């Protein structure tokens, strides 16, 4: 996947909003996620980036600007976005 190709260039952090800590860990395990995941119990991260619901993606550029995409994203589209952010 793209995250191995872009190691050191792009950092991925999963943010869970709804559900329990256990359900988040089960999701991480089920999908074999290898990147950091945090629980946003108060919805502060979602509010900061104006994410109304999951799934959503927030891409933060090195200059601090961001782009929010709401909805699922296939691997081809995600890889293209990560390559764009990683300078490839």
Q: What is the pLDDT of residue 51?
A: 92
All structural domains of the chain with their residue ranges: 8-86
**CB 44, CB 36: distance < 8 Å:** no
- Give the C-alpha separation, 11 to 82, whole Å: 9
- Give the C-alpha separation, 61 to 26, whole Å: 30
pLDDT band at 4 (very low <50, low <70, confident <90, very high): low
Mean pLDDT of 59-66: 86
- Give the C-alpha separation, 74 to 86, whole Å: 18
CB count within 10 Å of CB 14 equals 14
CATH class of segment(s) 8-86: alpha beta
Cα angle, residue 73 at apex, residues 47 and 65 outer, rounded to 5°: 45
Tell me the whole-structure pTM to 2 decimals: 0.74
């Amino acid at each position: 996947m793209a995250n191995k190709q872009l190691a050191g260039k792009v950092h991925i952090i999963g943010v869970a909003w709804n559900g329990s800590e256990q359900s988040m860990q089960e999701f991480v395990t089920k999908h074999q996620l290898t990147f950091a995941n945090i629980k946003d119990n108060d919805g502060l991260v979602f509010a900061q980036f104006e994410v109304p619901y999951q799934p959503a993606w927030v891409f933060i550029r090195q200059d601090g600007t961001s782009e929010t995409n709401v909805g699922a994203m296939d691997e081809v589209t995600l890889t293209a976005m990560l390559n764009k952010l990683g300078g490839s």
